[in-house]
Copies of this chain bind each other. A is one copy, B any other.
């Protein structure tokens, strides 16, 4: 999400942006890497990356792990993330809601949010017959690839949507091009109906159901999803959507706590 302004060639990058680019990259890779590898793969000057990595190491934002000078996200980030989680205390309710959903439907239930201008699965509960889910928890994925994506950008105007989503994200995993106007039409439809369902674009055997979890501003702060085998999904469509709606309503009425419990 940071490499958006790659346009100007000769510009220097700001240290802070580079730093978070490194952190995001490590998160995507989900493994420790050498500074050299990081530099090569994000296309940043090696000297800059070494400098930043050392700074981040000395702050506990990064840690040596995996040997050979490899680094990964550090403990400090865990503490900061825990503070966020504690403040916007959605996880407890979220976990029980997903559990309930998965029990009711025997399908895989997910809680999803935007991660910058992409989509990510924040929590997941496997269903009764777990199958290989296409997107793992914590991976960020182009918004147009997902059912939830239609709901998560619905509060934006057409133009804002086009500005928000990186153009290359309309290229689907199979290589086909999703016309932005088609996507926007689906967004508007999802907005009207308060839900979106489709046969997954990412694989060829699942059906996805998504409903919004509305925040204080009234727009979708998150989504609840079910990922099902296609036959199952189509057969149980109405029941599954009912379960999702009910679960979303429960989450909405458990607002962010102001302070400690």
Contact = CB atoms under 8 A, between A and B. Distances in A.
A157 interface: no
Nearest to A55: B16
A80 B87 contact: no
A80 B20 CA distance: 10
A37 interface: no
Interface string A13-30: 011110110011011001
A78 B76 contact: no
- How many monomers of this protein are in the complex? 2
Nearest to A117: B60
A36 interface: no
Interface in A70-116: 72-88, 113, 115-116
A137 B59 CA distance: 21
B73 A87 contact: yes
Contacts of A234: none
A73 B80 contact: yes
Contact of A81 (B16, B55, B84, B137): B84
A79 B260 contact: no
A137 B60 CA distance: 19
B79 A80 contact: no
A30 B83 CA distance: 7
Contacts of A165: none
A61 B2 CA distance: 12
A246 to B, nearest CB: 26
Contacts of A148: none
Interface in A32-89: 52, 55-56, 59-61, 65, 72-88
